[in-house]
Structure 1
Amino acid sequence: MSMPATSPSGKVRKRSPKASNAAVLNLANNVTNETLPVDSMKSREKVVVSRRYIDNLQQRLSQLEHSAAQPIPSNVSPEQLRSPDMVDESLTSSAGTNRSSEHTLKDSASTSSYGPIEPPRIQNDAEAKAPLINPLAFHTYDWVPGPKGQIVFMGTSSNWSFGRRVLTMTHERLTGTPLPIQNLHFGGLDGKVYDLKWDGNRRVSSNDTLDPSILPAQDFALYLINSVKFHCGWLFNLFEEDRFMEHFRLFHERPTEYPRVAPLWYVHYLLILAFGKAFVVQSTKSRRPPGGELFVQAMKLMPDFTFFEVDPVEQMQVLCCAALYLQCVDYLTQAYRLVCSALRHSLEHGMHTEMQSHSLDDNYVQRCRTIWWTVYILERQMVSQMGLPIGISDETISTRFPTFPGQPEKLEALKIQVSFCRVLAKIDQTVYGLEGKLDSRYLGATQAVLRSIATVTEQLSRSFEIHANEGMAGVSRSSAHLHLLQHQCIILTTRPLLYTFLLSRLGHLEVALMHWLQSESVKGLVQMCTESAQQILRILASLSDQGLLETFLRFDLDATFTATIVLLMAAAIDSSLLQDHTPWSQRAYAIFDEMSRRGNLVSEMLASELKQLEGLLSKFLVKDHESRLAPSTHGRSTPRQADDMDTSTVNVADYSDSFNLETADDLGLGLNYELSAEQLMNVADSLDIDSLTWPWPDETLTGNGSPGA
């Protein structure tokens, strides 16, 4: 096996990744030739290699690639380097080398859980080029204390977790004290924002079932049902109109008896009414959400599906209604449990398959396909929102799309939503998964995801242009939702870089990481993240002007938060990314204020946390500016000077003009920019993975450990 050679001075030179690859390939060839019986004279015989053997070699290859740049201890002799035992020891200790990339995040002597308050020691230039990884892929700081003393898990890709990480580490870095958790938003903890006034016990009395006093009159009920159709009909299949309205007619003929005749439909009816009231009544400041009494009544009457025999399609619809309502009122963990239950029940009925059988009725198959994709979309979006693993892999799904006669746009919107959900899963599994911990694999995963987004973007641009049609004002609500999904996928993919650079800017990681912004590829990714955030706010501002901003459904709220925190971070990291975030952040706060006025209690808390972060970063920039104005000595910087270095003045390669948004019209928030599939693909193709690994390819280590000529 090829091992690092020693220089005349006795120092070990780092191995190149190519040498590691060759070593493992040689190992594979040697083991194959030595351990597998192969008769070269019998060409028709096959060589059988176990899958475990192949996986083991691949694992060893990845471990060697990651540890290729690690120095060999000075007390290791050349004989030990040639020893197979030494090779095995180096492989078994790879977990330690993987953890070495987060050594700056784990300083027990520091008061901060995110790294040392004081900047790290200045290393020589070659050692200072730290690898680009996704620090969010490590599960070191995924647990935080909750408001009631419980431990709260923060998922890697969760928007709430991301915001809390950024605010916590910024506060700790600038104040030297832990972030107080009072008055902070804890996404998904019941009773923190909204209060349903229900403890989960189903103490049902006869009056609960038969008393119609909480129900609206028939004409108002129709209005509420139609409001649900307008807000959710093109997004999800929450009810089948023909079947549902037939039950509605029968119910109003016998309002006291029908709940016993069709108990599950009655639960379904209460849930739809709860949604309708939430969409119509939007000015309450009560901690009990609009429609909360109807929702609780429905949950009390919800049957135990373990033994309750019912139409599986309606069962899925009821579970999806309950899950979506809980998500909207910030009961995220409870919503996740219900949508996972819906997924398991749909799998039990084979809805994830082609459903091609003479025993199946065509109408039933179409109903199953329609509800299946609603369950799929909800599960994928909630999983990404909480940063959790997906419930079923796409490789095991063969369900076809339903047919929507006379509604081609609805079918196309469904296909695009599903495609973006697949991208979300890919992001969670790669960028925030194991590959995110390795520099080359993290950037390779980012490249692959961007290509996937580009493919969906081509379909999106072809069918749902964000610009208004000629002669018409405004944007379509469905088009806006899909474009918001696109830009959130881009941000979710690229914001680990922003997080890494902010850590470095604040002194939590190696200051030398900021030099990665000199790379055109890295700068392009970070700036694309910033520009997607700007476009999100443009779209939301246009929806707000039209009165189409969603204040109960979570999608616009999450998009606003996702975009705003990116812009605050970008402005603090490097002025070339965003000169001034104020026009954008002020517009975002106006959107939060509108949501708050219309009864959304979460928006006010999120805006408060973003303003707190904005204040901290502003103080940091002022302090940083003052330190640079102070007289400094010539020559090599001290650690403190390195910590206060003016990273905003680093000579950064110009970004492509096609992505430039800093024009006069942009401050007016007009929809004059949209990222094309071709541009996305160009950015992905421009990523030179080899040049973005550590050490940089144009630097070789000489015998004295300094950069060579």
Structure 2
Amino acid sequence: MPTSFKANPRKLRRTQNACVACRQSKIKCSGEEPCTNCRRRVMRCRFVETGSKVMVAERYFQELQNQARLQQQQHTFAVRIPSGSTCPEDRCPPADLPQAQPIDHTRSIWTSPFSLPSRILKDARDSKRNWIWLAPSSLWSLTARLKVMITEKLSLESLNNSPGLLEGDVYALQWRDAAPNDPPDISGLPSIDQALYLFNTVKFHLGQIYRFFDDEETFVRHVREFYQGDAVVKASECRLWFVQFLLVLAFGNAFLSRSRGTNDPPGSKFFVRATSLMPDLASLWEDSLLAIEVLAMMGLYRYSIDYRESAHVYVGQAIRIAQLGGLHTQLPEEELGSRTLTRCRNLWWTLYIMDRHFSSSVGIPMTTHDCDISTLVDPSQQDTTLSLQVKLSRMLSTILATIYKTERMQLGIFLEQTRSILHTMAGHAQEIEKIIHLKFQNSLDTMPRGTRHITLSYHQCVIVATRPLLLSILKERLEKLDHGEEDWQSFLAPTKALINTGIKSAVKTLQILSDEDSLLEVFLPFELEFTYGAAIYLTMTRTLFPRVADGEAGSHNAHSILDEMISKGNKLAEVRKIELTQIESLFQQLAARIEQQGLQTLTLSSPEQSIVSASTVYNNINDNDDQGQEDLATATAIDPQTVVHCMPGDSQSPSGLLPQDTSDLEFLENIGISSYEFLSIVDGIDDNFGILDPGQGWEG
């Protein structure tokens, strides 16, 4: 196989047998086992078996790599995370797993912070709702949970009487249902030019992820018929379309609104009118696809103004209508036509993404199971963003079903589950890397809107996956607050890399949202959620691990983002800033109590000490060092786009793909995306399994 390496005239002395990590990083190895570098970086030190090197065809070598990866995925984990096609009922552990036994090695047990019975709060307001359930995965329940945990332990005054916990606390909506036979109210509507402008505005803000307008020509034709003909007759005959038209006006005005002088949500005058005109459920079957679009848009608007529970109900209705039409299955293109099939697919995956996000927000199980879905994502190049968003949504549901459990388990099993999730995340990181490479070939350095959203969704998955670890440490820290010193090393040692990963994702999230070259989304709540979730995460880590860097900078970025949203009229951002300030104050008081009692300061090694960054590996690969050239020329396949990091005989080595373009690498590091780093963390977790030796009584 021809190689493009040039001979180096200067022959450097090198170790005869360098370890895998030193070879990949292109640094000098001491040759010991473990070597000096691996001991310093707290990594497992592995040496490949020396022997003759064989030259093979590139295609054959790539086939061997693919076979090795497939075998690794099939046999790596004793406890498997269910794939996207696995139903919840298939996730039960095998019957022959050892039963839980009482033991003294408490650090070997992962104690979920979400214990049973469930945590609730009394609802003191004038309503028939007597209690509020604190769901494990809900970000808003997390706020209340943290307030309760700290105020109870520190004997402080309760703070759970602040607004923003239930829908209707921030914005109030009132309407009266219109009689079915009464003509719709068409007064106060914008001109046709402004209506079409609002429609294009809505497409710009929603089009990448939320596919409500695949039949754009039909919608525009209805608009022209409405304005150029008898508007009352058109609205009466096409009542459901007129509801969709009012929703478009509501979203369009909301996206453009910057008013702070009203207590009503932006665009609400059109939304309330649309709600009052909604037909009953029996009438929705006359045009099921349009009904699905309308119900989904109703749900999205409600979710955007903090009506999360009713939003979930609307999306649930849309999903039921879609399932009765078979949208979750592979429908026949010959009978429906390609346009209708594409519309059905896009509608289904829009509902899927909304269901995963809304369900996790309110903290309840997903409406649909992945094993029941057989429809495909549109394979066209322009839908790569949608495809990856679907995968990230599936990843989020897997995280919630796997990690957010209430039972105790072996810490090793918990780490295996997390390791499997990170392994999948590394695969998604590779896809983002490819998208970045393709979309930035002719770009002017500004991240496309769809790519920005999936990048933030990616970091959200990392934060959500590692947040229970922080909650568990916080819970135990509070329980041991008055009991003096305690040894944390046995618990923190195998979890440091995970927590560091979460910290990096939280920091990168706030950095991306603080970028002055990007347009901050104000009405849709997702960037507000990303901001608030990352800020809470960093607030917790700053108190639990005081020496962690970037904590203060992250808090400053979060407050700046919230201030910008507030300045543009977002009342939800005002409430979140109040809640964030309260949480920060509580954690400051907890930090003061820890310092006052002279308790052990918990520390995390910096990510740089245990993870080799993608750019470092890339730069080292391109060095003209004789040792690395000889190893890479024989052991890896090189194509024009990627370098595969894999060593012969090393089935556990990271297999992440690094972009060939250094500008891509710099941008990926700026947004915190690196499949190589994630696979390094996966290996690091595997290294720490030696700490959790089942022979020493590590049974849960």
- Letter of the aligned partner of 2:112 in structure 1? N
Is residue 107 of structure 2 the alignment partner of residue 133 of structure 1? no
- Residue 377 of structure 1 contacts residue 418 of structure 1 at CA under 8 Å; is this kept in 2? yes
Query: Structure 2 residue aligned with 1:289, among 265, 270, 273?
Result: 265
The DSSP-based 3-state class of the residue aligned with 2:132 is: strand
Q: Percent identity?
A: 29
Query: Structure 2 residue aligned with 1:604, among 557, 574, 581?
Result: 574
Is residue 130 of structure 2 the alignment partner of residue 145 of structure 1? no
Look up the match of 2:227. 252
Look up the match of 1:212. 186
Query: Structure 1 residue aligned with 2:100, among 37, 49, 66?
Result: 66
Query: Structure 2 residue aligned with 1:317, among 289, 293, 305?
Result: 293
Deviations 1:398-445 (A, max 9, x none): 1022365xxx23x10010011001101111111113677553432222
Look up the match of 1:191. 168
The DSSP-based 3-state class of the residue aligned with 1:546 is: coil
Query: Are the structure 2 counterparts of residues 659 and 307 from structure 1 closer, same or farther at C-alpha, using a change threshold of 3 Å?
Result: same
Query: Are the structure 2 counterparts of residues 485 and 257 from structure 1 closer, same or farther at C-alpha, using a change threshold of 3 Å?
Result: same
- Residue 691 of structure 1 contacts residue 697 of structure 1 at CA under 8 Å; is this kept in 2? no
- Letter of the aligned partner of 1:190 in structure 2? E
Look up the match of 1:678. 676
- Residue 611 of structure 2 contacts residue 680 of structure 2 at CA under 8 Å; is this kept in 1? no
For residues 635-654 of structure 1, the aligned pairs below 5 Å read 645-648=599-602
- Residue 320 of structure 1 contacts residue 375 of structure 1 at CA under 8 Å; is this kept in 2? yes
Higher mean C-alpha displacement, 360-369 vs 421-430: 360-369
Give the whole-Å Cα distance in 1 for the aligned partners of 2:443 and 2:605. Answer: 45
Deviations 1:73-109 (A, max 9, x none): xxxxxxxxxxxxxxxxxxxxxxxxxxxxxxxxxxxxx
Query: Are the structure 2 counterparts of residues 443 and 518 from structure 1 closer, same or farther at C-alpha, using a change threshold of 3 Å?
Result: closer
Structure 1 portions without partners, runs of 5+: 1-53, 72-125, 629-644, 662-668, 702-709
Is residue 562 of structure 2 the alignment partner of residue 583 of structure 1? no
Query: Are the structure 2 counterparts of residues 271 and 488 from structure 1 closer, same or farther at C-alpha, using a change threshold of 3 Å?
Result: same
Quote how far apart the aligned CAs of 1:605 are.
Answer: 1.2
Q: Kindly tell me the number of residue pairs found equivalent between the two proteins.
A: 552
- Letter of the aligned partner of 1:320 in structure 2? A
Give the whole-Å Cα distance in 2 for the aligned partners of 1:488 and 1:595. Answer: 20
Deviations 1:180-228 (A, max 9, x none): 3222420xx3320011223xx5244877x44322311222212211110
Query: Structure 2 residue aligned with 1:571, among 542, 560, 564?
Result: 542
Quote how far apart the aligned CAs of 1:618 are.
Answer: 1.8
Look up the match of 1:11. none
Quote how far apart the aligned CAs of 1:557 are.
Answer: 0.4
Higher mean C-alpha displacement, 440-449 vs 428-437: 428-437
- Residue 539 of structure 2 contacts residue 584 of structure 2 at CA under 8 Å; is this kept in 1? yes
Look up the match of 1:552. 523
Quote how far apart the aligned CAs of 1:390 are.
Answer: 1.2
- Letter of the aligned partner of 2:226 in structure 1? F
Give the whole-Å Cα distance in 1 for the aligned partners of 2:452 and 2:345. Answer: 25
Query: Structure 1 residue aligned with 2:363, among 387, 391, 415?
Result: 387
- Residue 488 of structure 1 contacts residue 559 of structure 1 at CA under 8 Å; is this kept in 2? yes
- Residue 108 of structure 2 contacts residue 410 of structure 2 at CA under 8 Å; is this kept in 1? no
For residues 43-54 of structure 1, the aligned pairs below 5 Å read none
- Residue 134 of structure 1 contacts residue 432 of structure 1 at CA under 8 Å; is this kept in 2? yes
Is residue 163 of structure 2 the alignment partner of residue 179 of structure 1? no
Quote how far apart the aligned CAs of 1:552 are.
Answer: 0.6
Look up the match of 2:208. 234
Query: Are the structure 2 counterparts of residues 316 and 292 from structure 1 closer, same or farther at C-alpha, using a change threshold of 3 Å?
Result: same
Deviations 1:293-343 (A, max 9, x none): 111111111111324432221111111110100000000000000101111
Give the whole-Å Cα distance in 1 for the aligned partners of 2:340 and 2:550. Answer: 56
- Letter of the aligned partner of 1:152 in structure 2? I
Is residue 439 of structure 2 the alignment partner of residue 462 of structure 1? no
Query: Are the structure 2 counterparts of residues 142 and 434 from structure 1 closer, same or farther at C-alpha, using a change threshold of 3 Å?
Result: closer
Query: Are the structure 2 counterparts of residues 567 and 372 from structure 1 closer, same or farther at C-alpha, using a change threshold of 3 Å?
Result: same
In the superposition, the TM-score normalised over structure 1's length comes to 0.72
For residues 264-343 of structure 1, the aligned pairs below 5 Å read 264-343=240-319
Look up the match of 2:455. 483
The DSSP-based 3-state class of the residue aligned with 1:311 is: helix
Quote how far apart the aligned CAs of 1:377 are.
Answer: 1.0
- Residue 147 of structure 1 contacts residue 181 of structure 1 at CA under 8 Å; is this kept in 2? no
Give the whole-Å Cα distance in 2 for the aligned partners of 1:278 and 1:132. Answer: 45
Query: Are the structure 2 counterparts of residues 147 and 268 from structure 1 closer, same or farther at C-alpha, using a change threshold of 3 Å?
Result: farther
The DSSP-based 3-state class of the residue aligned with 2:506 is: helix
Structure 2 portions without partners, runs of 5+: 1-88, 616-666
The DSSP-based 3-state class of the residue aligned with 2:232 is: coil
Query: Are the structure 2 counterparts of residues 436 and 530 from structure 1 closer, same or farther at C-alpha, using a change threshold of 3 Å?
Result: farther
Look up the match of 1:221. 195
- Letter of the aligned partner of 2:560 in structure 1? A
Give the whole-Å Cα distance in 2 for the aligned partners of 1:622 and 1:426. Answer: 37
Quote how far apart the aligned CAs of 1:660 are.
Answer: 12
Query: Structure 1 residue aligned with 2:498, among 495, 520, 525?
Result: 525
Deviations 1:239-260 (A, max 9, x none): 2311110100100012222101
Look up the match of 2:470. 498
- Letter of the aligned partner of 1:523 in structure 2? K
- Residue 136 of structure 2 contacts residue 404 of structure 2 at CA under 8 Å; is this kept in 1? yes
Deviations 1:452-478 (A, max 9, x none): 211111111111369976772432221
Give the whole-Å Cα distance in 1 for the aligned partners of 2:499 and 2:682. Answer: 13
- Residue 504 of structure 2 contacts residue 672 of structure 2 at CA under 8 Å; is this kept in 1? no
- Letter of the aligned partner of 2:403 in structure 1? V
Query: Are the structure 2 counterparts of residues 325 and 397 from structure 1 closer, same or farther at C-alpha, using a change threshold of 3 Å?
Result: same
The DSSP-based 3-state class of the residue aligned with 2:231 is: coil
Query: Are the structure 2 counterparts of residues 470 and 574 from structure 1 closer, same or farther at C-alpha, using a change threshold of 3 Å?
Result: farther
Give the whole-Å Cα distance in 1 for the aligned partners of 2:389 and 2:223. Answer: 30
Taking CA–CA contacts closer than 8 Å with sequence separation of 6 or more, which of the two structures ends up with the larger relative contact order?
Answer: 2
